[in-house]
Amino acid sequence: MYHTSYEERRRIESLDAESLARHQLARLNVLLDEILPRNRFYAEKLGDLKLPLESLDALAEVPFTFKDELHGTQETGDLPTNLTFPPDHYVRFHQTSGTRGRPLLVLDTAEDWQWWLEGWQYVLDAAAIDSADRAMLAFSFGPFIGFWSAFDAVAARGAMVVPSGGMSTLARLELLRTSRATALLCTPTYALHMAETGHAHQIETASYNVRVVIVAGEPGGSMSAIRDRIEQAYGATVIDHAGATEVGPWGYADANGTGLHVNEGAFLAEFLSVETGKAGGEGELSELVLTTLGRVGCPLIRYRTGDLVRPTWNTEGTNHFVLLGGGVLGRADDMLVIRGVNIFPSSIEQILRSFPEVVEFRLTADKAGEMDALTVEVEDRLDAPDRIAKELRLRLNLRVDVQGVPVGSLPRFEGKGRRFVDKR
């Protein structure tokens, strides 16, 4: 099994482009040797690819992998199509959240689960978690992978883990206090909801012992307006993280908290320009494509994640992994084109969260003839939606219909926020 020390993780981060490519190629060839030919899905996809690969450039001959291809059928017990081993080799059963269609089943072997925990160590390094910490995980612990891997990774690091599955938000706030937790792990949505609930019950979360909030599951942790609100609410530092059930824990916060590094020691990252469909360049809006370099039981090669990012390659400093400024900016299938302007729900959320009086919101996209139309509902303590519409027009160069609704009338979420309703 692949394990690294803290020093080894820092060494891999600091590799120059040529050395990193050699590292990735070696791991990719090991993976291909382990999965072929018994992984039928990739045995067919890779076809006549000559192995071992002599260069990462050879991957350009491999077709992309799409999520729809991974769904099993009733005849196969709904098991994912990209399994390398028979079902009795797997010890972890999870499924995607189902927010974008039918949930996808994902299985992991014991070795693959250790690979997950290894990836999480980069996140915990960024958060400076050690054995003196107590980490509370505000998560339901159902089949959605959420923070299951974080739970085991924190425990493996020697810190205390505090589960809070099945508890109300108010009960979790009390547990956060009585456990004297120094770290809180949840989605950005739920971190804000906990703080909102605390405020409604005269509970000041900033007076708690929390020094760091690790967020994942949705955009926000790398967006200044959202990050600032969470940090003010808890008097703590926000550390962003990105991953997916079918992919693994691929991203962790940079030193400034303004973006995500792709863990290129464990993943091979490619970027497809939204505009051209070809390789994305520096700062260009692109779809993230990932290849797992260690998940033998359920591998992914050239997987189209659907996440939209802006990559930056930096040879300065000690971390040379590609940086995604602003983290995950949105989803390819969420992009709106309103009167010729490309808009992402996350961009609107960034603006709405800059208003401290906005408690919650909902975006609804519809069609007005051949064009996309957008309506924004806001719970605004000032009940003055016109000022919000004015700021959206200023920042986006776009008129947006903003409607005030009573505080407490919009849905709240424990996991991924579902604030974007697409009626197109």
Q: How many helices (H) and strands (E) does the chain have?
A: 10, 21
Cα–Cα distance between 304 and 166 in angstroms, integer? 34
CATH number at residue 373: 3.30.300.30
User: Do residue 317 and residue 349 come from a single domain?
Assistant: no
Q: What is the DSSP string of 320-348?
A: -S-EEETS--EEGGG-EEETTEEE-HHHH
CATH number at residue 67: 3.40.50.12780
To which residue do tokens 């505080």 refer?
Answer: 407
pLDDT at position 220 is 80
Stated pTM of the model: 0.86
pLDDT at position 1 is 45
User: Do residue 75 and residue 90 come from a single domain?
Assistant: yes
- Residue that is last in its domain, among 297, 331, 365: 331
User: Do residue 73 and residue 163 come from a single domain?
Assistant: yes
Domain limits at 180?
1-331
The CA-based angle 45-51-55, given to 5 degrees, is 100
User: Do residue 344 and residue 324 come from a single domain?
Assistant: no
User: Do residue 296 and residue 158 come from a single domain?
Assistant: yes
Mean pLDDT by 10 residues, the chain (424 residues): 83 96 97 96 91 94 94 85 97 80 90 96 97 95 87 96 94 98 94 93 96 90 90 97 95 93 98 93 96 97 95 90 93 74 80 91 77 85 93 85 92 74 75
CA dihedral 313, 317, 321, 324 (to 10 degrees): -60
Cα–Cα distance between 90 and 106 in angstroms, integer? 10
In DSSP terms, which residues pair with 184 in a beta bridge?
136, 213
Say how many C-beta atoms besides its own lie within 10 A of residue 397's C-beta: 9
Q: What is the DSSP string of 61-111?
A: GSPPB-GGGG---GGGTT--TT-SS-GGG--EEEE---TTSSPPEEEE-HH
Q: Could you tell me if 247 and 305 are in contact, meaning their C-beta atoms sit under 8 angstroms apart?
A: yes
User: Do residue 354 and residue 303 come from a single domain?
Assistant: no
User: Do residue 353 and residue 303 come from a single domain?
Assistant: no
User: Do residue 353 and residue 239 come from a single domain?
Assistant: no
Tokens of 264: 């290129």
Omega before 52 cis (within 30°)?
Answer: yes
Listed residue (378, 369, 309, 361) closest to 339, CA to CA: 369
Listed residue (336, 240, 243, 325) closest to 280, CA to CA: 325
User: Do residue 66 and residue 206 come from a single domain?
Assistant: yes
User: Do residue 182 and residue 292 come from a single domain?
Assistant: yes
Domain total in the chain: 2
Say how many C-beta atoms besides its own lie within 10 A of residue 273's C-beta: 14
Q: Could you tell me if 138 and 175 are in contact, meaning their C-beta atoms sit under 8 angstroms apart?
A: no
- Residue that is last in its domain, among 331, 349, 376: 331
Half-sphere exposure at residue 270, Cβ-oriented, CA atoms within 13 angstroms: 20
- Residue that is last in its domain, among 286, 307, 331: 331
Cα–Cα distance between 286 and 330 in angstroms, integer? 11
User: Do residue 203 and residue 176 come from a single domain?
Assistant: yes
pLDDT digits (tens, 9 = 90+) for 365-386: 876 656 677 899 999 999 999 9
Sign, CA torsion 17/19/20/24: positive
pLDDT digits (tens, 9 = 90+) for 156-174: 999 999 999 989 999 999 9
Tokens of 216: 């994942």
At residue 49, the 3 state secondary structure works out as coil
Residues whose CB falls within 8 Å of the CB of residue 302, separated by 6 or more in sequence, listed in order: 59, 62, 63, 64, 65, 270, 289, 291
Cα–Cα distance between 106 and 325 in angstroms, integer? 29
User: Do residue 293 and residue 352 come from a single domain?
Assistant: no
